[in-house]
Chain A
């Protein structure tokens, strides 16, 4: 297979996976009592696209199966068949099977027997439900022909063709077919007569012939498909590209080409071959569950290996290419300017070019960072299905609300978030949510709700999992912590401290661990992963009202637009996003309340004044009355005026984590290195406000 072809295939798999995800999301979001026609069209279009593309890129099995789904959807879309909850389940299973198909097709494997059986069963159920057999797939869509022009063939194909039963009766010239194939390249064929029934059952007008064909050709697959145009139906034609030149052929391939062993025999021999796991189980060396676990682990590793690529929108890359082009021009301008740097004109040119360079460097930096940023939707999208399934299994009615899916996170973060979030959501449904009965008794709506929210707050990203379930049982947590020696007897931890104990290793207050949440990672893994990402966990819980778990993630890779200020002898950076304005303080505007607290009246609103030096304990500060500059900041709907000594300017800073090098400091979200090499701390505005509020409360 040529590189170009391989690229197309990757694109196909990605697109098909996205389409399948889209189908799932649509299916899950539909209200079956009031179905939107547009949703039905969306489903149909997705199935149709997967089918068409799969056929084009040489995955007839994927195409054939997707076609069945498409055919199922056709009468639904036309309003001739209702979308029942049962049918939705079947379609969801169908989406899973598409994914399984894609997974195996991507590895060049055919579908495992187990899946083939599942597929057959599903198709049977779809038909049973529909009352009529689904039509077999028509030959490759004609639009594919146009695409094939740009596709190059590889080394050739291995083809399995089972002639349709009515081939003779339709006047099909099978000999002609092979003559046309031979025109494309070097042909080797193995007739398969095994499908011919015993003589007494044989209708001589039926065609039971099948062939395995090895065709060495550089023609694109479309050309091969075209030969079979009138006889391909359903999955009776399977075309697989031969392994690329230089790759090691399989034993079967060699035996086929060199010794003329028929592919049918090889297939049969292979079907008798057992997998390592099965053999070991048969030998009584391991338990089947152990093998399954090992397979899961292998799968996980495989997925991880796959996830190391990132998909970038072409516009992003185009913009980068343009930027680099602009940079080259700027460089030329600079070179020219430097040659006449002693003239006034040269100097002007130089500063203009530098200005341009500044802008371009900044943009380049941003955009390169942007490449690694992916929407959090990549993780979120799996949850509607999971919650749906869990709810069904546990007999709970749960709805999932999602917000802020477009919030962008570094790709590494996204990958590391999958396990913790999965666990949190699963936990919320399994343990957090009461049963329908319990909910009714406590006067709640039978339908429980879980909210997943992502948002960008200043220098950090917040991801929240909130349920309206029973809330944490802090008495039980306290008792358990005492039992496990996590708390000293007689100690009086705060609610917040108690809440966080659920993330300690081996901590579970549920007497009977259900097979859902009790499996795999524990809550301690959540804590571990979040800590690895340099984030922290916050828990809020109210008995009977529910629990909110908030993952606060830093943006370690982020560039921040900051306002640099001086307070005492230190330089600090305000995230520009939280700065509203800065102004000169007029003594008359400031009023003192509660002893030493100051508020300023600004346009009729009283805003607390926070003395930065005081709060941060900076040395070298002057008398409060002399400080005349205030920076008005806002966070989470609250405002405060921070008094500083000097405004130094506005600039972009690279955020470095303070925690990795030192420790977490309240009110500080990170540090940065300034142009002159000195370190400046980046202020965490919400943190500062909390701190100030705490001090105010303590003082009062």
Chain B
């Protein structure tokens, strides 16, 4: 207990699904609708994990990862990016930006928890 996870996605349905699953597994969850909002939400928080979508308005997920890594408090925090099957290169881009790993969409709640448990 005690892990707080930030989930960033412009699709509220996706955010709800992730939040619902994580809360069901006793994680604390905070949400953000894009990169800019995510940086604001994250500020001053002790986060165990950040899960972010890639394609978002205002600030995309890759930029968000780079910005987070530049902040001392998130330098070593696990970050997962949500990628799609069709865009395999996104895994690589995420990695280069400093992401810990990825979750390929579409995913099941079980898969989500599997991956989360892999990095926390």
Report which A residues bind B (CB closer than 8 A): 135, 138-139, 142, 166, 168-173, 176, 180, 227, 229-230, 233
Further contacts, 20 of them, CB under 8 A, given A169-B69, A171-B79: A142-B85, A142-B104, A166-B95, A166-B98, A168-B76, A169-B76, A169-B98, A170-B98, A170-B99, A170-B100, A171-B76, A172-B119, A173-B120, A176-B120, A180-B118, A227-B118, A229-B101, A229-B118, A230-B95, A230-B119
Chain B residues, Cβ within 8 Å of A168: 76
A169-B92 contact, Cβ under 8 Å, with A142-B85, A142-B104, A180-B118: no
B15 within 8 A of A: no
Q: Is there contact, CB below 8 Å, between B92 and A230?
A: no
Chain A residues, Cβ within 8 Å of B104: 142
Q: Is there contact, CB below 8 Å, between A138 and B85?
A: no
Chain A residues, Cβ within 8 Å of B92: 135, 138
Chain A residues, Cβ within 8 Å of B99: 170
Residue of A nearest to B77 (CB): A171
List which B82-120 residues lie within 8 A (CB) of chain A. 85, 88, 91-92, 95, 98-102, 104, 118-120
B23 within 8 A of A: no
Chain B residues, Cβ within 8 Å of A171: 76-79, 98, 100, 119
Q: Distance (Å) between the CB of A232 and the closest chain B CB?
A: 11
Chain B residues, Cβ within 8 Å of A230: 95, 100-102, 118-119
What DSSP secondary structure best describes chain A's contact surface? loop
Q: How many residues of B are in contact with the other chain, CB < 8 A?
A: 20
Q: Distance (Å) between the CB of A171 and the closest chain B CB?
A: 4
B3 within 8 A of A: no
B75 within 8 A of A: yes
Q: Is there contact, CB below 8 Å, between A138 and B88?
A: yes
Bound state CA distance, A393 and B100, in angstroms? 51
Most buried by B among A142, A180, A230: A230
Interface pairs (9), CB distance under 8 Å: A138-B91, A139-B91, A170-B95, A171-B76, A171-B78, A171-B100, A172-B78, A227-B118, A233-B95
Residue of B nearest to A167 (CB): B100
List which B48-97 residues lie within 8 A (CB) of chain A. 69, 75-79, 85, 88, 91-92, 95
Q: Distance (Å) between the CB of B16 and the closest chain A CB?
A: 25
Bound state CA distance, A142 and B104, in angstroms? 9
Bound state CA distance, A380 and B43, in angstroms? 69
A176-B95 contact, Cβ under 8 Å, with A171-B77, A171-B100, A230-B100: no
Q: Which 7 A-B pairs have the closest CB atoms?
A: A230-B101, A171-B78, A171-B100, A170-B100, A171-B76, A171-B77, A170-B98
